[in-house]
Amino acid sequence: MIILNAVLEDAEELLNIYAPYVSDTAVSFEYDIPDLEEFRGRLVSISAHYPYLKAVEGEHIVGYAYASAFKNRSAYDWSVESTIYLRQAARGKGIGRELYSALEAELRHRGFLNMNACIAVPISEDDPFLTDASRSFHLKQGFSEVGIFHKSGYKFGRWYDMVWMEKLLGDHSESISRPLFL
């Protein structure tokens, strides 16, 4: 497996990875799978300022991870929100760990200091649309839970809580340069 920057030509394969998370799970709170043009626009917009990585095995993309703006105010420029999606068959093989490690390294290189994740959590242990795997994954990656928004997402006829998690990536000194938007 190799990790590379995602490019526009990857959009269809990335969308195919993402689509089941929209249609079959509460991992994504989108109700409708975006069309290819919308997804391409997202990839271009995000990768213009933040890392957008793909994991490739053989001829196929098996997962992707990216960072995006945490909030659209200048004081938040050192913070990002991170996202990761894997093909279902690729889960549990360490690909997510490698992708997130590469994403974290690139964020550090660019001068970002806070990596945040907003994660849906199941309402019960037998929830058919969501497991606690994402929260567990982030804890293993060194994230800490910092807050919970109760019943903030509604999908599949049920309310879901959102857990905010963070990982501090660098020194928060009083005098610091702006992150690199490469």
d(CA 21, CA 81): 18
Tell whether the torsion through CA atoms of 126, 131, 133 and 135 is positive or negative: negative
Residue 2 vs residues 53, 54, 103, 114: alpha-carbon distances, Å: 10, 8, 13, 25
Task: Note the pLDDT of residue 24.
Answer: 97
Q: Mean pLDDT score of the chain, rounded to an integer? A: 95
- Long-range pairs of 105-108 with CB within 8 A, sequence gap ≥ 24: 106/51, 106/53, 107/51, 107/67, 107/80, 107/169, 108/169, 108/170
Structure tokens at 182: 């490469």
Mean pLDDT score, 1-25: 97
Mean pLDDT score, 115-120: 98
Q: Identify the band that residue 122 occupies on the pLDDT scale cut at 50, 70 and 90.
A: very high
Mean pLDDT score, 37-43: 98
Whether pLDDT at 182 is above 70: no
d(CA 131, CA 153): 15
Strand bridging mode 79-86 / 114-121: parallel
Model pTM score: 0.94
Task: Note the pLDDT of residue 176.
Answer: 80
Q: Identify the band that residue 6 occupies on the pLDDT scale cut at 50, 70 and 90.
A: very high
d(CA 140, CA 136): 6
Q: What is the pLDDT of residues 131-175, one digit of tens each?
A: 999 999 999 999 999 999 999 999 999 999 999 999 999 989 888
d(CA 142, CA 91): 19
What Rg do the C-alpha atoms of the chain give, in angstroms?
16
Q: Identify the band that residue 35 occupies on the pLDDT scale cut at 50, 70 and 90.
A: very high
Higher per-residue pLDDT: 92 or 107: 107
Task: Note the pLDDT of residue 69.
Answer: 95
Q: What is the pLDDT of residues 42-73, one digit of tens each?
A: 999 999 999 999 999 999 999 999 999 999 99
Residue 49 burial by Cβ neighbours in a 10 Å radius (0-12, 13-18, 19+) = middle
